[in-house]
Amino acid sequence: MNIYVRLATIADIPALEKLIRDSVATLSVGFYTGAQIESGLSHIFGVDTQLILDETYFIAEIDQMIAGSGGWSKRETLFGGDQFKAGEPDRLLDPAHEAARLRAFYVDPRWSRRGVGSRVLTECENAARLAGFNRIELVATLPGERLYAAKGYTRVDAMQLETPSGESLAAFRMTKCL
C-alpha cells in the first residue's frame, strides 16, 4: 500500500469536512457518547484554514483518495477548527522557547490502523524540526491517545474539552522532544 502525502489546499476543504465528520463519528464510538461526538463536531473538530494557509497541513492519499489528514502549527492555538477560533490569526510561536503544535489529525475509518496516521505524523514532526522546533505538543482525544503514546508522546495532564452545548470530552495534553 502506497501512502502519498501532500500539502492540503483550500480546494480540499469540502473533502476534509467529510473526512473529519466520518472519522470522528466512527472512530470516537466507544470513547465518547453520541451527544459528545455531535457536540464536538459542531463546536471543536473541523478544518482549521490557518493550517492550510500556513502550508503546515497534510493530506494522505491512497489510490488518489483521501485516507487521512493532519498538521503541525507554528502558531499558539493548540486545538480546534475554524468554528472554535476567534477569527484572527494566532500569534506565531518562538521555536527556540516554545513547542510546535500537532493539530487536527483525522483518518478515514476504512484506513484506520493501517499506517496512515503514523505516516502523516512523521511528515509533521520532520517539518516542525526543519522549522527549528525541538519540541512538539498536542491535545489527544481518547481515540488518538494510543497512537501518540506509541510514537513517543508522553501525557502532561488530563483535560476536558468543553463545548457551548454543555458536553465535555476527555482528552490529554501530550508532548515529545523532536
Name which of 57, 38, 47, 56 is nearest 17 in CA terms. 47
Burial 43-78 (b: 16+ CB within 10 A, else e): bbbbbbebbbebebbbbbbbeeebbbbbbbbbbebb
User: Given this model, what pLDDT does residue 81 score?
Assistant: 79
User: Given this model, what pLDDT does residue 82 score?
Assistant: 66
User: Given this model, what pLDDT does residue 133 score?
Assistant: 98
Pairwise CA distance, residues 169 & 161, whole Å: 5
Say what percent of the chain tops pLDDT 90: 90
- For 87-122, what is each residue's pLDDT tens digit? 667 899 999 999 999 999 999 999 999 999 999 999
Pairwise CA distance, residues 178 & 174, whole Å: 13
Beta carbons within 10 angstroms of residue 91's beta carbon: 10
Name which of 121, 178, 170 is nearest 142 in CA terms. 170
Indicate the pairing of strand 135-141 with strand 100-107: parallel
Say what percent of the chain tops pLDDT 70: 96
User: Given this model, what pLDDT does residue 1 score?
Assistant: 79
- For 16-45, what is each residue's pLDDT tens digit? 999 999 999 999 999 999 999 999 999 999
User: Given this model, what pLDDT does residue 83 score?
Assistant: 67
What sign has the CA pseudo-torsion 55, 60, 66, 72?
A: negative
